[in-house]
Structure 1
Amino acid sequence: MFRPHDHFSESLHPEFLRIERKRVGIILGLFIFGSLILPVLHYLAPNLLRNFLNQDQFFTGLVFWWLLFCVFELAIYFRLTYAIKNNLLVPKRILILNIIVEFGLPAIVLYHAIKYDYSLLILEYDGLLFYFLLLMLSAMHLDFKVSAGAGLLAGLGYFLVAFWGIEYLQPEDDVVQLKEIYTMRSFGLFVAGLVAGVVASEIKKRVNNYLNSIEEQKEIESLLGQQLSKDVANELIVHRNDTVGHKVVGSIMFLDIRNFTVMADHQSPEETIAFQNAIFDPLIRIIEKNNGIIHQILGDGFMASFGIAGKNENHAKDSLHAGLEIIEVINHLRTDENGGTTRVGIGLHSGEVVTGNIGNEIRKQFSIAGKNVIMASRIEQLNKNFKTQFLVSGQFVEMLNCKGCFKDLGEVHVKGFDDEVQVYQVGERCSCSKE
């Protein structure tokens, strides 16, 4: 947030640099506008600025200080632009120099104007207006101390020039009354700086709260990103208020790590977690690479879907390719505690499922349900009966429209279903997913 620049030795927050650059840009814009409007005013009303512009010494001095200020502000603007573009650190103490120059110039210009015009008239309008514009813009510093300091400099500069002008000109008017008026105006400038500081402080708090909420949201999204896929997160957001489910056609995969319970009983908790991470890390990457999402990770397996959360006409081909990659990876992974290679069971089935956000206002979970989900789970379990690692249903093969790399294991009775189901074993060199 903006806390790191609470001390002048600290660096400015990157977001603050952008705000400061915009503030300097506004001041430059005002100066450029003023530079363009002065000749126009002189042309339209020659008597208005005649006394000033006809005095070469004053005009030369005014141009000098005007250009010096513009060059300084341009240097600050480009310095901030360069720092923002290259992610460089800029110390907050640069604000001190900037404030001194910005609020020192009006005093110098007022001094010359009074001296050469031999009048206090410029203190009535131009001087006050310029100071107030700078004080309003000082709120963009988002720092109470900076705005209060600017108000102090403005009030002090105006006060010193006014009192010098009174002593220098020795006006016939009531001098005591003039001093009271200029004293009150000087105090008013200081109060204006305090008000700008209060406004700046309040804006800073709100900006900090906003940036805090953004960072917290990013942290939550990062954490949820480890728990949910982007597709699931999007479904939860899009259909967060839905009270009914949706029917979607896709492919469902169940995976089980064989003999995991026995392995876990003979391992330390650290070894079990290390084994799970070694197994699941590449498998999760494979599922996501093939446009699938994992709904649940259990200790010894997971349930994944393809074409469910996000529309995908090639869900069957993607799921088959993911399964083949998983088998290939598993064959090269570490061995279990008995020295045998780690084996898995994969079941794939395609069909219509019901999707929806299940839960209440405290917690919701994107879930898929229906007989086809159960069918995919039952097909995975059949791997134990056939001593295989990768089985698919006849319905999946029909949807894939490719039978060249499947071994027909016949029709099998599946628990919970009246009709027998055609089951196929997937060959390790199956090319259907590449067609």
Structure 2
Amino acid sequence: MLPFLRPIATFLGQVRGRLRRGHVTRDDLFIGEVLKRNGIITEFQLKSALDSQREILIQKGRAVRLGQVIVELGFAEESAIIRTINSEYQIEVTSLSDDIRELLAYKYGSYFERLPRPRIPMWLQMAVATTFIIVLTIFTLSMVVLGQQKERLYEQTVRLGMVSLNYFANNAPIPLLEDDILRLNTLIKEAARVEGLRYALIVGTNNLIKAHTDINLIGVPFKQFAENPVTTEKSDVTYYSYDRPDGERLLDLYRNISFKDKLLGQVHVGISLNFIEDLVRQERISVVLITLGILGVGLLVALLYGFRFSRPISDLLKATQEIAKGNYQFRVPVKRNDELGTLGASFNKMGQELWKNAMTQKSFGKYVGNEVLDMILANPETEWLKGTRNEATILFGDVRGFTSYAESKAPEQVVEALNAYLEMATRVIIKYGGYIDKFIGDAVLGVFGVPVFRQDHVERAVRAALYLQEELLKESLHGNKLLASVGISIHTGEVVAGNVGSQSKMEYTVIGDSVNLASRLNAFAGAGEVIVSRQVCERLSASLEAEHLGQKAIKGKSEPVDIFRALRIKSRIHA
């Protein structure tokens, strides 16, 4: 080694040693990315901190944790860094002097050390996707087309065999009656000229071969070509396929020969099926060649369009990085008149607005935004919180005897049955223009008329209830007996609708005496029944058929309340 290179080699060895000992690891890069992602530091600050960390290592020969460098440079407070690390990795770091690497290794093991997933460029993804779609499409089409072609060829072969078979059967009766072997073989000999026909033979009633394309088999007892074949009958012809000892696949067709209802014998014709496989094989080769050609063109198009689309996206990525650094004046080159061009123009407009906002905040004071934010947090959704008085119809559906049902069934079965009921109730209420206010155990509270007011909200609620009971009864016949145990009550009146809750959780709901009455009426609703109040009956007097059940004492009411059982409703509406 040259003398002037020895100090450099020694220094590099020391750096490698520190890297091996964990003084400088990928942990700093991971933590730096976490801090940047959570807005603690910017990309520029991260690069500056890493450069400072390297300079300290080179100049002083010691490694300093990235978090300490960030604090020393004034980019962030130590408490903010610790809070972010603990939240991101679910560990308990109390100070930057703690061994964060050891805590991460203890919690995540080798997973934290694994390399990041490789970046796959868009053009390659488009090429792979195009290849997959082309191959899948052509393969599917070829399978369907070749299958249909194979089936048609098989049917054509059967028709060809039937023509030959009928020819022999129609011309063989007289020679068979006269036992004219010469005429029978002359008749069979003509069949040998048909392409694909491997044999033709005529068997007498004594099971001896009277005529055969192979003269050596004349007079030999006839034996079936296959044992227990699966045959198909078409008109007077029966046929089946089998394999010869030499591997060739044949189709044997046969029919009886008769004269004036007297059985004289049987004629057989054997046609080769191998030509079908040969044709299909040739077509497959053609499909493969066509696929390769289309695939080449498709890949070329995919690559061209991949580069065409990835270039403006790369420009947008670079612009995003510049915006993250605070360079709001960076502009994306807009050279396209399509969606990506529109996106680039919108991005440039966004950067301009961000620059204006940054200049406004810097010029007029950054605390103005915080004051407005504090006002919003102090009174979120002010208009909704006030609440409004509205006329609405309340539908309350509850399962009769649910407690005893739940005690006798497995928890999984109870949940499944209950979910089926709530799913049907939700679908029907929404179908008729209502909304689900809440689920209360095995009960559902539906509201019609708010927040979207409809003039016929009372009729919609009654129709929804009657239709729901019909559907529940039908569905209960399939085994879910819980569905047949639902009682529904309906009342209409004035309610207060609005947001109720706290700043951390709110819900839109309805409250008031009408809601309470609808709930209390449900106690009088038997399984499969719809109970309505007098107000509902009066609103629907022209269309609702109901049975008066008398006056009932209701908790919270000084006077008894008239209740009715809804039976049917006459007119129809479109929900």
TM bucket, shorter chain:
0.3 to 0.5
Larger helix share, 1 or 2: 1
Q: Higher RCO, 1 or 2 (CA under 8 Å, sep at least 6)? A: 1
TM-score, with length taken from structure 2: 0.36
Larger strand share, 1 or 2: 2
TM-score, with length taken from structure 1: 0.47
Point out the structure with max Rg over C-alpha: 2
